[in-house]
């Protein structure tokens, strides 16, 4: 990773994740009952491939058992634990990397790092496109984009709610202000809260949901769990297996 080489990139940065980013993976799984059954019955075979540690960890079986216990305990994987599957993929595919990246960036850069957690599920969700289902998978990967860019071609006939429009106004204001000034909230009255950059190891972030507010320690227990696993996710081998799910 470039940041590990202590090269400075003194450029303001916005990054973050959606609360249900893992719907990108979970939604197509739950669209087919057999895939759900396969994930439950063959967890130790499938998850190391889907989460890219099968060939980068010397303790693959241990890692798989710890993941299953952390997210499911002794429960089976089925519709009742759907959101645990979403959380599992959210944390592996998105939270873990974001958590590491902001810590590295803050350590080597003097420019502000603005961290966010998008937690607003509106009238439509990209999980419908990933699965063909209207099931609530949470705030799916890419859901925030419909509040930054026109989405009528993605969701034909969409009639946004008043709250959708409010979130759109806030998102566009913050992102365009950041592009223009390097600060997403140069004028606090536009959003009613000032988005503070990360200033401590608590990793301050902006929670963007029905309410918008500052918080810290984003999904701390879950991020620490992934940091504790004996895996090296930045290493890939040329004969990596195809993702099973």
Q: Taking Cα atoms as reference points, which of 87, 53, 52 lies closest to residue 70?
A: 87
What six digits make up the tokens of 42? Answer: 């063959």
Pairing of strands 212-215, 205-208: antiparallel
CA distance 136 to 120: 12
Q: Is the pLDDT of residue 1 over 60?
A: no
User: CA 154, CA 187: separation in Å to the nearest integer?
Assistant: 32
Instruction: Give dist(CA 27, CA 37) in Å, integer.
Output: 14
Residue ranges of alpha helices (H) inside the chain are 23-30, 33-41, 43-50, 60-72, 82-90, 96-108, 127-131, 162-181, 220-228
Q: Does residue 7 carry a pLDDT above 90?
A: no
Look at residue 124 in the predicted model and tell me its pLDDT.
96
CA distance 131 to 137: 10
Task: Delimit the domains of the chain by residue range.
Answer: 10-228
Cα separation, 167 vs 210, whole angstroms: 8
**Tokens representing 226?**
């992934």
Classify domain 10-228 at the CATH class level: alpha beta
Q: How many residues does the chain have?
A: 245
What percentage of the chain reaches a pLDDT higher than 70? Answer: 91
What digits encode the pLDDT tens for the residues 54-79? Answer: 888 889 999 999 999 999 999 999 99
Q: What is the pTM of this model?
A: 0.90
Nearest residue to 136 (alpha-carbon basis) of 147, 148, 121 = 121
Per residue in 83-100, pLDDT (tens digit) is: 999 999 999 999 999 999
């Amino acid at each position: 990773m470039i940041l590990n080489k202590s090269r400075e990139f003194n450029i303001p940065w916005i990054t973050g994740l959606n609360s249900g980013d893992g719907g990108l993976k979970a939604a197509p799984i739950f669209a087919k009952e057999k895939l759900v059954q396969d994930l439950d019955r063959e967890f130790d075979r499938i998850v190391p491939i889907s989460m890219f540690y099968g060939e980068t960890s010397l303790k693959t079986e241990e890692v798989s058992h710890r993941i299953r216990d952390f997210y499911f305990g002794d429960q089976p994987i089925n519709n009742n634990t759907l959101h645990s599957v979403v959380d599992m993929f959210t944390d592996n595919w998105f939270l873990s990397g974001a958590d590491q990246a902001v810590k590295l960036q803050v350590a080597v850069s003097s420019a502000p790092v603005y961290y966010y957690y998008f937690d607003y599920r509106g009238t439509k969700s990209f999980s419908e496109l990933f699965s063909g289902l209207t099931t609530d998978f949470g705030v799916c990967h890419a859901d925030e984009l419909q509040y930054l860019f026109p989405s009528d071609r993605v969701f034909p006939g969409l009639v946004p709610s008043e709250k959708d429009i409010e979130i759109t106004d806030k998102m566009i204001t913050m992102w365009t202000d950041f592009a223009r000034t390097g600060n997403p909230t140069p004028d606090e009255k536009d959003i009613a809260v000032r988005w503070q950059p990360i200033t401590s190891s608590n990793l301050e972030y902006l929670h963007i949901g029905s309410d918008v507010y500052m918080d810290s320690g984003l999904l701390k227990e879950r991020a620490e769990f992934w940091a504790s696993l004996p895996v090296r996710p930045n290493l890939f081998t040329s004969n990596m297996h195809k993702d099973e799910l």
